Structure 1
């Protein structure tokens, strides 16, 4: 059973949500404070985490930033108002998805299943082997990336985007193509999210000019194959 950590100071939320998640073979554990949640995460026994934005000690954005310094665990953020700016900030900080409050438990489970599915997809990709380009290698088996021989730390979404582009170098993927293939559902999504992830990924891959933008069309991987 996959384990999910909920970091939310609403004491009334954890128990009923845990009972609902159990129906889908998900074990949910709640931490009421960020410090307690970080302590649990550092034990390394969780498959994903849900972060509320409005928290004591530090807000969800600061918590997301702190977690991303230590782990690439899938993160789903709960935004109280559902404002676009909250979603943009969360994605910029490395969250994998977001869900506005109030939410339906089934929708949250669907989001969790999507990020978890992407997380465990690596074994199925082993047969394709490491993808090698000039200055860049992408290993789907270990979900690792080397840029000019140096490891690059990517979030789950950043890796999935890079791997999507690397499997078909030169092919142009529209924002809708990317959203559909990475998110796995057509819930409340916005194309700005793709631009954010691409921008983060580009910065991490510098000085390589790896991702090409085709105006009004989309994105493609612009690196040549590695020489034999």
Structure 2
């Protein structure tokens, strides 16, 4: 983990750097706010930003950071003004830690914020599946559109959706679908009808037939 500490009090900054280093957090100190503006924020996991900086207010720096990056930002300041805290949070800071503070609290806030950010990003990066099973209606949705499947169609399609992108053999589909006869042609007819119900919403053949192997769902 690597953070960017923007702080013009170098003695204080070095104390923080030493403490965080003991907690396996690498810290890069930057005492020049204008230099901080040209740094690649993608190289860091979090920014710890002081407000009382020479030449440019930390609030303005926070605003500029947020315009170009979603990196987590903790404002740390001896300024006790409520308006500074509110404005900093409104401009995109994720947390506000007044000075003086306990280094252990700083560490806890850093870990908590990075964990929340990571969890949020991972959740949003998860691929959203086009097909969803609706257990209540015993139907399948394609891009939130109900397909209005018959019982046999639902049984077959739900088995395919549960095995997303994996091949499901004809024997497995017939075994898991009581409403489908053991005749292979009956299964093919059910698959054909499902495809026709998907067509109004997509030109793609989402149920792929693999000769001698079975079927699978594709996006």
- Which range, TM-score by smaller chain? 0.5 to 0.7
**Distance apart, 1:125 and its partner CA:** 2.9
| DSSP-derived class of the 1:4 partner | strand
Give the 4+ runs in structure 1 shifted more than 2 A. 122-132
Q: So what's the TM-score if we normalise by structure 1?
A: 0.52
In the TM superposition, what are the counterparts of 1:1-228 in structure 2 within 5 Å? 2-40=1-39, 42=40, 44-122=42-120, 125=123, 129-130=127-128
1:128 and 1:113, CA in 2 relative to 1: closer, same or farther beyond 3 A?
same
| DSSP-derived class of the 1:121 partner | helix
Q: So what's the TM-score if we normalise by structure 2?
A: 0.54
Structure of higher RCO (CA pairs closer than 8 Å, 6+ residues apart): 1
Q: Which runs of 5+ in 2 are unaligned?
A: 131-200, 202-219
**Distance apart, 1:82 and its partner CA:** 2.8
| DSSP-derived class of the 1:36 partner | helix
1:30 and 1:90, CA in 2 relative to 1: closer, same or farther beyond 3 A?
same
Size of the alignment, in residue pairs?
Answer: 131
Q: Which runs of 5+ in 1 are unaligned?
A: 133-227
Q: Answer yes or no: is the 8 Å Cα contact 2:45–2:72 preserved in 1.
A: yes
Q: Answer yes or no: is the 8 Å Cα contact 1:5–1:30 preserved in 2.
A: yes
Taking only aligned residues, the RMSD between alpha carbons, in angstroms, comes to 2.4
Q: Answer yes or no: is the 8 Å Cα contact 1:79–1:86 preserved in 2.
A: no
| DSSP-derived class of the 1:30 partner | strand
Per-residue Cα deviation, 1:146-197 (whole angstroms, up to 9, x for no partner): xxxxxxxxxxxxxxxxxxxxxxxxxxxxxxxxxxxxxxxxxxxxxxxxxxxx
Instruction: Determine the C-alpha separation between the residues in 1 that align with 2:98 and 2:49.
Output: 12
Per-residue Cα deviation, 1:42-92 (whole angstroms, up to 9, x for no partner): 262111001111111211100001111111100000121333221101111
**Distance apart, 1:15 and its partner CA:** 1.6
1:49 and 1:126, CA in 2 relative to 1: closer, same or farther beyond 3 A?
closer
> Which structure features the higher share of helix residues?
2
